[in-house]
Chains A and B, each alone.
Chain A
């Protein structure tokens, strides 16, 4: 099984994110691998461990995105590739999906591509399905479990998590999968892995290298970014001598205020 796993570099979720002069700032908070993508890396590694082959981590981003790729290497990926181009820095998923699909095409011979469910900065979750469409592969998004993998027969069966329940799908390979956190628990990079990753050379491909030529303009235009309005709440503490007394008072207040 030749596997690609797509990872994005994002600010740490614990960062305080603010707007400064109309621009998003996360201060000096560290950049990390998108937390959802750790699940994708883990599942890619487990699939390789069960069925052989190799795992290549792929990212589109600035030079700094190397750190996300190094994390993937430290977890156990065999290779990493960074697609970096000034024209690809402030684009939307329509363009990123083009770049990822072109890079996967250039790598060639891939059976499975794993993605995270969404990036924790833009919170969109549309890239995986778009890459699948561009490659002409089945889009298996929000996969909560792999129920059968058959490398010889070139098929895979998965459970997809819908809001109402799970849809079980059998798909030919190659296919593209985005994972939810139910699928597995990501491993921590090992000491050996971290050492290996720090020495690894990560090739950088430009837009021209992957045959993108002229990079299309993004389809979206962001007109404003702002801090959400503060919600002012003043808590009314319900007190009483017993749980019964407090419950009765709370029920009365909820009905009085027409909350229920």
Chain B
């Protein structure tokens, strides 16, 4: 059996990304349609445990490039390693999760192999021995189907939460092979890492609770006397509002999202923004509180399975895409909802 579907295991300093095993599952599906096997590719330093995990999640074998120079992710050295593994292995199809790193890693690797790379797949089919990827364009206003027409490997990046995560099978075994790659000297120096706000990653989250400009609209709240500036008063109110969002998120093990208006007003960092110019998410449940539902916000969350809207204004467009809606003040509804769910879910 030719083993020619390769899947790259993306990790952040040794920790596999949330979607890593979903993509192994997707590779398995493609391999079945192609009559092929699945090879996992792991690149880094001291990351051999990821190879075993990939096999448990459905890969037939794994190839590792383990080198002190790969301790920190750098597109240059990682792409050189990946290109070597793909060439040696005669890869025909390569799947990666879509992350900040893999977008550039796959792009650089495609240059090395003079082949095509397609990011952000939300589905694929196999036709005449080729993978046909489906992806959104124009911020989701349209969809396109794409194939890689070269004879080289067909490189696809798949979005989080499109494919189910396969169960790990503890006893599953496969060959793990070390590959040496001539990496050359690194020219860049990784100085360190800065953690951003900890919490559940937006793109991997099954549940998201988002706040919009409405989180600052509560005239009953009086800011402390030392805050005199009007904008600072608004930000202070917004912090009280986002505290309610966070409390509900904690009960639901959810990530916290925001509209651009909330980000632009300085209530919350850009990393939390959902929408056309923020993150595109597709959780099982998306709770929008004090979010009007502008088209650019919808572009980032429209494909959520169940949307719950809490808004003072019955005319807010968010109700047009919601499955459940409450017309009310989020400062009253959110704490009540948190209490109810906490009791009902016994959390």
Binding site for B on A (CB under 8 A): 11, 13, 16-19, 24, 35, 92-94, 97, 120-130, 132-134, 138-142, 157, 159-172, 180-182, 216-228, 231, 233-239, 243-244, 246-248, 250-255, 257, 259-260
- The reply on B75 being an interface residue by CB < 8 A is yes
Please report the C-alpha to C-alpha distance between residue A218 and residue B116 in the assembled complex, in whole angstroms: 8
- The reply on B101 being an interface residue by CB < 8 A is yes
> CB distance A94 to B116 under 8 Å?
yes
> CB distance A235 to B146 under 8 Å?
no
> CB distance A164 to B108 under 8 Å?
no
A-B pairs with beta carbons under 8 Å apart, 7 shown: A94-B110, A94-B115, A123-B139, A133-B111, A168-B192, A233-B320, A233-B323
Distance to closest chain B CB from A84 (angstroms): 23
> CB distance A222 to B252 under 8 Å?
no
> CB distance B302 to A169 under 8 Å?
no
Kindly identify which residue among A17, A127, A235, A247 contacts B138, using a CB–CB cutoff of 8 Å.
A17
CB-contacts of B101-160 with A (<8 A): 101, 103-108, 110-112, 114-120, 132, 135-150, 152
Known: A167-B193, A247-B336, A247-B339. A238 touches B103 (CB 8 A): no
> CB distance A121 to B326 under 8 Å?
no
Kindly identify which residue among B107, B114, B139, B149 contacts A129, using a CB–CB cutoff of 8 Å.
B107
Kindly identify which residue among B12, B138, B328, B336 contacts A164, using a CB–CB cutoff of 8 Å.
B12
Please report the C-alpha to C-alpha distance between residue A37 and residue B252 in the assembled complex, in whole angstroms: 38
Interface residues on B, range: 35 or more
Q: Which residues of chain A are within 8 angstroms of B252 by Cβ–Cβ distance?
A: 260
Distance to closest chain B CB from A231 (angstroms): 7
Chain B, interface SS category:
mixed
Known: A134-B111, A219-B148, A260-B252. A235 touches B325 (CB 8 A): yes
Distance to closest chain A CB from B293 (angstroms): 11
Kindly identify which residue among A92, A128, A228, A248 contacts B340, using a CB–CB cutoff of 8 Å.
A248
Known: A220-B147, A243-B332, A247-B333. A93 touches B117 (CB 8 A): yes
Please report the C-alpha to C-alpha distance between residue A142 and residue B104 in the assembled complex, in whole angstroms: 10
Q: Which residues of chain B are within 8 angstroms of A134 by Cβ–Cβ distance?
A: 111
Q: Which residues of chain B are within 8 angstroms of A238 by Cβ–Cβ distance?
A: 324-326
CB-contacts of B295-347 with A (<8 A): 296, 302-303, 305-309, 319-329, 332-333, 336-337, 339-341, 344-345
Spot the interface stretch: B34-42, B173-181, B183-191. B183-191
- The reply on B100 being an interface residue by CB < 8 A is yes
- The reply on B210 being an interface residue by CB < 8 A is no
Known: A142-B100, A163-B203, A260-B341. A219 touches B76 (CB 8 A): no
> CB distance B325 to A225 under 8 Å?
no
Please report the C-alpha to C-alpha distance between residue A166 and residue B271 in the assembled complex, in whole angstroms: 11
Query: In the complex, which residue of chain A has the Cβ closest to the Cβ of B73?
Result: A167
Please report the C-alpha to C-alpha distance between residue A8 and residue B306 in the assembled complex, in whole angstroms: 36
Please report the C-alpha to C-alpha distance between residue A106 and residue B142 in the assembled complex, in whole angstroms: 37
> CB distance B324 to A125 under 8 Å?
no
- The reply on B268 being an interface residue by CB < 8 A is no
Distance to closest chain B CB from A144 (angstroms): 8
> CB distance A235 to B324 under 8 Å?
yes
> CB distance B141 to A17 under 8 Å?
yes
